[in-house]
Amino acid sequence: MAGFDTQFLLSILTIVVIDLLLSGDNAVVIALAVKSLPQRERKMGIIFGTSLAVVLRIVLTFFAAKLLGLSFVKLVGGLLLLWIAVKLLAQDEEEHHGGHAASSLWTAMTYIVVADVTMSTDNILAIAGASHGSGALLIFGLGLSIPLMLFTSNLLSRFMERYPVIVVIGAAILGRVAGDMIMSDPWVVATLHPAKWLDYVVQALAVVGVVVAGRWLGRGQENTMVGNVPES
């Protein structure tokens, strides 16, 4: 009984650590997506985004292992995440330089849902592994992610508003996650047999690519808007 209790407590501790580590990426997406929204819609976006993220995790729990074994799933997911990171950074760059970033609650929710679907499978498998087949521990792990993402995304969105450099860092983090997803796709692994150094190089290129492309697109849209302003 004591051994069981010890194992149970260790599993809980492991799940808490996993949630703390893995909920951060999802919180970054939510914070970036809602940053440009008005205050009221921002709160709604955080609540709805977190709720959808958890619902998606529950649904994906039944398919996580099979999904990760399919070729191109993580490759396509990584490419989608790269696109989302670039779009969110470009949106912030345009707003930061005086433009009007085209953002809405529904747009933000779309980004959150797509990004969470692409990133959650690994997270679910990590929690499922730490649960050792216990449904109660699995539910605990999924439930714990709700307040963690709510708190973290709300805090991040406030910091992003005060310190714009955090937006760039957040987009760079998403770029790194996307690069890792692409290089760990079963088809990529079977075709390229990438060494660890190549994995790191691709992640670094993804980080640089997201930051450069996002800032360039944001400033390009700003210049287009300025050029289209009629002279008085």
Summarised one tens digit per residue, pLDDT across range 101-155 is 446 788 888 888 888 777 777 667 677 767 766 778 878 887 787 788 778 888 8
Distance in angstroms (rounded) separating the CA atoms of residues 4 and 211: 48
pLDDT tens profile 184-227? 899 999 999 999 999 999 999 999 999 999 989 887 755 554 44
Q: Is residue 39 part of a domain?
A: yes
Q: Determine the average pLDDT of the residues in 12-28.
A: 76
Distance in angstroms (rounded) separating the CA atoms of residues 188 and 115: 20
CA 35 → CA 38, 39, 226, distances in Å?
8, 9, 23
Distance in angstroms (rounded) separating the CA atoms of residues 76 and 209: 17
Q: Determine the average pLDDT of the residues in 153-172.
A: 85
Q: Is residue 90 part of a domain?
A: yes
How many domains is the chain built from?
1
Query: 111 with 26: CB under 8 angstroms?
Result: no
Distance in angstroms (rounded) separating the CA atoms of residues 121 and 59: 10
Query: 172 with 136: CB under 8 angstroms?
Result: no
The domain in which residue 170 lies consists of 2-219
Q: What angle do CA 75, 47, 24 make, to 5 degrees?
A: 45
Residue 204 has what pLDDT?
Answer: 96
Q: Is residue 227 part of a domain?
A: no
